[in-house]
């Protein structure tokens, strides 16, 4: 894709965020350190990005009036969540620069629309069905065997998903998903999961990150590590796939492409995210340019930074469960592991499954970085390791 002359938005300017969760917070911290001012719009007055912003507008993601207020104060607006009403995206884009723009976000924010777009473009996917009824879900299970039914909007961290293995479970799944149209995916025989992050600037420069190797427990990311310890040819295939999708979408900002690698070595797209991604939080530690700084560079049309791995690095997520144990988190023990850093998102109200922070580590290789961060986690929260799949055998995943 051609590179057009740059029109940079320079430090001193104000960046607006639609969404004020941890992704906004970490991007805002990077933007602050580069000299930008920050404003944020979020439904929660005490959102995680608030303390880093000069101004927080408390409003829903379908509040056009509030979005216009944000846009009127900002030189560029970005987003850290894709569930922004299209009217809000239009209203912001009419008043200031919006990156990523309405078109890619609109495609991605509906799981069915996203899958149909990927399929129409010829990108590799597992089998899926757009279901309009319990009957459609049952048919999908009959045809494809074990499936996962997913709500079209608003699901994250495995929420809004129901696993089925028999057609007679369809009625319960349909009602659990609110009796609304849903996506039904065949359950893929996953050998391992990877993601690839792509950054594209307003003038068309593209940078592709090395793949991250990711491990989920009950649909929630447990850990991620880079380098991914996969073959050079799989790295190449995954990077080419992610770059092609980003370019076809014409996205400006970041695109994370979540992939499954099957037991017979097929590379399938799981889903897309047009924003910073949990599987690249290690980029702050071991990569030359963190995903957060890269997003700022991309939307401000500055030269993109080097994505290469300078130190193998890994993260483990800290869910609310850690704070709900009888014993509080043993932070001083966790930080006694060399190479480990603690990241907390400043969220009050720990709930089971809620992302509250993460631990990161650098190491001599991927196995070492992952070993350190998991050891740190075990020291932090001995009570939750049982449910959280951070046992020693997990390490075998990255050499398999």
Q: Which residues bind ligand ATP (CB under 6 A)?
A: 126, 148, 150, 155-158, 185, 187-188, 190, 193, 216, 219, 221, 258, 270-271
CA distance readout (Å), 213 to 39, 95, 258, 345: 33, 39, 10, 23
Looking at the Cβ atoms of 68 and 230, the one nearer to ligand ATP is 230
The set of residues, in sequence order, having a beta carbon less than 8 Å from that of 30 and lying 6+ positions away, is 290, 292, 293, 295, 296
Distance between CA 192 and CA 212 in Å, rounded? 11
CB of 3 to ligand ATP, least distance (A): 31
CB under 5 to 8 A by kind: which of Mg ion, ligand ATP, none does 187 bind?
A: ligand ATP
CB under 5 to 8 A by kind: which of Mg ion, ligand ATP, none does 40 bind?
A: none
Biggest distance spanned by C-alpha atoms of the chain: 59
Looking at the Cβ atoms of 75 and 258, the one nearer to Mg ion is 258
Structure tokens at 211: 């793949």
Binding site residues, Mg ion, CB under 5 A:
258
CB of 149 to ligand ATP, least distance (A): 10
Asked if 26 and 53 count as a contact pair (C-beta separation under 8 A), the reply is: no
Looking at the Cβ atoms of 72 and 119, the one nearer to Mg ion is 119
CB under 5 to 8 A by kind: which of Mg ion, ligand ATP, none does 148 bind?
A: ligand ATP
CB under 5 to 8 A by kind: which of ligand ATP, Mg ion, none does 329 bind?
A: none
CB under 5 to 8 A by kind: which of Mg ion, ligand ATP, none does 210 bind?
A: none
CB under 5 to 8 A by kind: which of Mg ion, ligand ATP, none does 158 bind?
A: ligand ATP
Q: For residues 168-177, b (16+ Cβ closer than 10 Å) or e, as one string? A: ebbeebbeeb
CB of 220 to Mg ion, least distance (A): 9
CB of 83 to ligand ATP, least distance (A): 11
Looking at the Cβ atoms of 63 and 258, the one nearer to Mg ion is 258
CB of 259 to Mg ion, least distance (A): 10
Looking at the Cβ atoms of 51 and 145, the one nearer to ligand ATP is 145
Distance between CA 361 and CA 356 in Å, rounded? 17
Looking at the Cβ atoms of 67 and 162, the one nearer to ligand ATP is 162
Looking at the Cβ atoms of 85 and 216, the one nearer to ligand ATP is 216
Distance between CA 398 and CA 189 in Å, rounded? 17
| Cis bond before residue 91 (omega within 30° of 0) | no
CB of 148 to ligand ATP, least distance (A): 5
| CA nearest to 99, candidates 278, 274, 291 | 274
Asked if 361 and 303 count as a contact pair (C-beta separation under 8 A), the reply is: no
CB under 5 to 8 A by kind: which of ligand ATP, Mg ion, none does 379 bind?
A: none
CB of 272 to Mg ion, least distance (A): 9
Distance between CA 43 and CA 60 in Å, rounded? 5
SS3 (DSSP) at 142:
helix
């Amino acid at each position: 894709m051609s590179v057009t002359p740059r029109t940079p938005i320079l430090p001193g300017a104000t960046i607006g965020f639609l969404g004020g969760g941890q992704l906004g917070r970490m991007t805002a911290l990077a933007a602050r350190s580069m000299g930008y001012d920050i404003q944020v719009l979020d439904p929660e007055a005490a959102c995680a990005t608030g303390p880093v912003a000069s101004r927080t507008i408390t409003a829903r993601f379908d509040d056009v009036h509030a979005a216009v207020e944000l846009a009127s104060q900002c030189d560029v607006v970005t987003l850290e969540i894709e569930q922004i009403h299209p009217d809000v995206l239009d209203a912001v884009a009419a008043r200031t620069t919006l990156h990523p723009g309405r078109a890619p976000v609109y495609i991605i924010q509906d799981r069915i629309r996203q899958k149909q777009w990927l399929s129409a473009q010829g990108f590799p996917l597992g089998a899926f069905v757009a279901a309009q009824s319990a009957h459609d879900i049952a048919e999908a299970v009959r045809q494809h065997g074990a499936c996962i039914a997913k709500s079209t909007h608003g699901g994250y961290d495995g929420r809004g998903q129901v696993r089925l293995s028999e057609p007679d479970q369809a009625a319960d799944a349909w009602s659990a998903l609110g009796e609304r149209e849903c996506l039904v995916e065949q359950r893929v025989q996953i050998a391992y999961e990877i993601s690839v992050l792509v950054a594209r600037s307003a003038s068309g420069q593209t940078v592709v990150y090395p793949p991250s190797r990711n491990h989920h427990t009950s649909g929630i990311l447990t850990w991620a590590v880079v380098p991914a310890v996969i073959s050079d040819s799989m790295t190449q295939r995954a990077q080419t796939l992610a770059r092609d999708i980003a370019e076809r979408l014409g996205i400006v900002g970041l695109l994370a492409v979540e992939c499954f690698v099957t037991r017979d070595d097929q590379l399938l797209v799981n889903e897309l995210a047009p924003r910073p991604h949990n599987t690249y939080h290690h980029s702050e530690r071991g990569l030359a340019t963190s995903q957060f700084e890269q997003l700022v560079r991309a939307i401000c049309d500055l030269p993109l930074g080097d994505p290469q791995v300078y130190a193998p690095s890994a993260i483990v997520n800290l869910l609310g469960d850690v704070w709900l144990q009888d014993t509080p988190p043993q932070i001083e023990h966790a930080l006694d592991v060399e190479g480990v850093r603690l990241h907390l998102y400043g969220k009050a109200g720990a709930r089971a499954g809620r992302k509250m922070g993460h631990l990161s580590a650098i190491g001599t290789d991927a196995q070492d970085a992952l070993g350190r961060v998991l050891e740190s986690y075990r020291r932090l929260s001995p009570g939750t390791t049982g449910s959280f799949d951070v046992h020693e055998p997990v390490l075998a995943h990255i050499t398999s």
